[in-house]
Structure 1
């Protein structure tokens, strides 16, 4: 779906919650192959059985990729991702866990040099099936203004 929202249209506090996505063993294998991260924490079930968590845990970058991907349901040609800040992996995600993402508009700021654009900060929280936060970060958007500042 395409939406055209200008900087002025974003409302502080607006929140969206995604559908869930169950993390599978195939996700672990594909992600390890794509990234080269074959650490035993993700790939060695026998070794993990001897560790505190007792089972393989998802790559943090896998949880991030899927969690953010869940929010990609609309295209706004007036905005682009400027990056992510303050990312933290709070709890492990295991095979069979279902994650979903809550994204809330937290802040809007003027661009320091461009009067035609501003920044929108979206607070992102990825949770598991128990409602526990497993990842948090800020997503920054670079957004066109309807009316340039003077």
Structure 2
């Protein structure tokens, strides 16, 4: 779906929430193969049984990737992602956990070099089925202004 939105159209406080997605053993194995991260925390059930969590945990980068993908429901031709700040893996995600994502606009600011664009910050909070926050980050968007140089 395409949803055209200029910088001026974003409102601080606007939020959205995704449906759930269950993290599977296949997700973990595929992610390990794609990244080369075969650490025992993710792959060795017997070893993990002797550790604090007693079970395998999903890669933080897997949870991040899946969670961000869950928020990608529309294409805005006036905006593009410029990255993520302050990514924090707050709690582990286990095989069988279902994650949901809340995304909220927390900040808008002028672009330091382009008066034709602004920066919009969207706080991403990924939670498990118990409501525990498992990952938090800020998603930065470069967004075209409808009216260059005028702050709103």
TM norm structure 2: 0.98
Structure 2 distance, partners of 1:34, 1:112, is 36
Q: Is 1:135 aligned to residue 114 of structure 2?
A: no
User: Which 5+ residue runs of structure 2 have no aligned equivalent?
Assistant: none
Q: Which residue of 2 aligns with 1:110?
A: 110
User: Which 5+ residue runs of structure 1 have no aligned equivalent?
Assistant: none
For 1:15-53, what per-residue CA distance to the aligned partner results, in whole angstroms no more than 9, with x for missing partners? 000010000000001000000000000000000000000
Structure 2 distance, partners of 1:58, 1:132, is 15
Question: Number of matched residues?
Answer: 150
For 1:48-72, what per-residue CA distance to the aligned partner results, in whole angstroms no more than 9, with x for missing partners? 0000000000000000000110000
Q: SS of the residue aligned with 2:13?
A: coil
- Give 1:113 deviation, angstroms: 1.1
Q: Which residue of 2 aligns with 1:18?
A: 18
Q: Which residue of 1 aligns with 2:61?
A: 61
Structure 2 distance, partners of 1:79, 1:142, is 6
Q: Which residue of 2 aligns with 1:84?
A: 84
Segments ≥4 residues shifted beyond 6 Å: none
Structure 1 distance, partners of 2:80, 2:58, is 28
RMSD: 0.6
Q: Which residue of 2 aligns with 1:70?
A: 70
- Give 1:112 deviation, angstroms: 1.0
